[in-house]
Amino acid sequence: MITQHDDICKQKISRIEKTNDRLTGRGGLALFVRYLSGIGIYPLLERLFGGIRKSKKGVAVGNVFKQLFCFFLDGTSLALSRFDDLSRDAGYIEIIENDQASMCSSHSIKRFFRSFSYVRVWLFRKVLQELFIWRLRLLTPEVIILGIDTMVMDNSEAQKREGVKPTYKRGIKGFQPLQLTWRNYVIDAVFRGGSKHSNHGDTVVKMVEHIVRKIRRCYREDVIIIVRCDSAFFDQVNFRAFEELKIGYICGGKMFDDIKEYIRRVPRKDFGRYANKDNVWEYLEFEDRRGTWAKARRAIYLKPLCEARQIVFEFARAETIIYTNLGVDEDLTEQFIEVGQESYLEVETIIETYHQRGNDELVHRALKDFGKEEMPFQRFISNAAFYYTMLVAFFLYESYKEDVAQGIVEARSYATTFRRVLVDFAARIVHTGGRVIMKVTEAVWEALNIVELWARCNSPPVIVFS
């Protein structure tokens, strides 16, 4: 009897057998591993964290980090038990250019993170900053715009983990690290408990002071730096610190009653209009001095008139106020003029730059898509080490997209898309003539332009440590 299924399927699988061929479904990791070796990241990691290795019989620290970076980029499962499965996968072992004896188990990874101290874990910030300077030297920007914000990491299901506290988001308990971003990168971070609010202590000032000194010492002393942040960082202490550092800032403010009353008294003819694509706002420039401030600062009031080509009713118009020192600080103004970037001093550009703060939040979203929010350990310091390793892996992934994957995937694509295109393809490992060869299908070879990708990942820009 011929069924409908038999009529459709001319070539049916009659049985399934196992093979001793070295096969993997993560062929793209070979390119990433070669890229990591080419940029020279391992000497820095060995220098800073090599002391964790207590015996020469153990796996080299650089190799542990290589396996962790591949673990994050793979993203199949971010449970530490995944390392046990990988250590038994011959195809995976060869694709990441490793050997069976050097593969980490879940227990060895746990011991690795538990060996971190409070002093050593802060060295991850040095790694991030070195990578940041590396990208600056490659791209040579005239103006560096930094975004600063916190990112809530939901660990509500965790039981009695150090630092897991209620956050500002209702019903969410977890961690709330403070992160400094530039373009698609997280360039510095402070891992903190969930109860630490955005402007807690002097962390913001110290973080910005440190990165500004690093930029001016290792990149260019005369480069223009702008920090943008939301109203959670609205504080005269921050503004005064930024002004003393001779950097620009664009910060959201708070709509106090006296400001609202002042704006109501201003004639409508004094308001300006700013349009961006399908949106229109009205704005008003003025100087504002809060009660405890030593001086007045430039303020810009904003109210939407049209959003997505739809007129916004008066009662539904969200009011915003922005504070900045751009256009009022004489030394800073001269810097902008010298490099031909005086447009940053205009009110329309300031508004546009503030609205681009949403791009900084997209970096946090991309990081969560790349890694995980729930930390795996009981101890705070072990979770901090895991978090910072994830940040370094994320930075390397973003730089890999720019240096190697350009033209294959969009720079703004999330890790889920990147993995489906450039990681999750089948490959076969063949040993012949004393060489190891990776083979892929003709469809993958042509679709991904493997020849070009292989050439790029074998000649990447090398990190020159400052």
Task: Give me the mean pLDDT over the 52-81 stretch.
Answer: 91
DSSP β-bridge partners for residue 154 = 174
Check whether 179 has a pLDDT greater than 90.
Answer: yes
Average pLDDT score, the chain: 91
DSSP 119-183: HHHTHHHHHHHHHHHHHHHHH--SEEEEEEEE--EE-TT--S-TT-EE-SSTT-EEE--EEEEET
Cβ-proximal residues to 206 (8 Å cutoff; 6+ apart), any chain: none
Unique residue bearing structure tokens 């000497």: 43
Check whether 398 has a pLDDT greater than 90.
Answer: yes
Check whether 388 has a pLDDT greater than 70.
Answer: yes
Cβ-proximal residues to 151 (8 Å cutoff; 6+ apart), any chain: 176, 177, 179, 364, 367, 368
Residue 313 near residue 299 (C-beta atoms within 8 A):
no
Angstrom distance (rounded) from CA 128 to CA 50: 17
How many other C-beta atoms are found inside a 10 Å radius of the C-beta of residue 345? Answer: 18
Q: How many CA atoms lie within 13 Å of 156's alpha carbon, on the beta-carbon side?
A: 9
DSSP 360-408: HHHHHHHHHHHS-SS---SSHHHHHHHHHHHHHHHHHHHHHHHHTSBTT
The order of strands in the sheet holding 435-439 is: 22-24, 427-432, 435-439
pLDDT tens sequence across 313-343 = 555 567 889 999 999 988 899 989 988 889 9
Name the E strands within 261-325: 272-276, 279-288, 297-307, 310-311, 320-324
Q: Are strands 165-166 and 178-182 parallel, antiparallel or unpaired?
A: unpaired
DSSP β-bridge partners for residue 165 = 174
pTM of the model: 0.93
Full set of structural domains in the chain with CATH: 20-115+425-458 (no CATH), 120-370 (3.90.350.10)
H runs (alpha helix) in 193-308: 203-218, 236-244, 257-265
pLDDT tens sequence across 404-427 = 999 999 888 999 999 999 999 999
How many other C-beta atoms are found inside a 10 Å radius of the C-beta of residue 110? Answer: 16
Unique residue bearing structure tokens 């913001």: 204
pLDDT tens sequence across 145-171 = 999 999 999 998 887 788 899 888 878
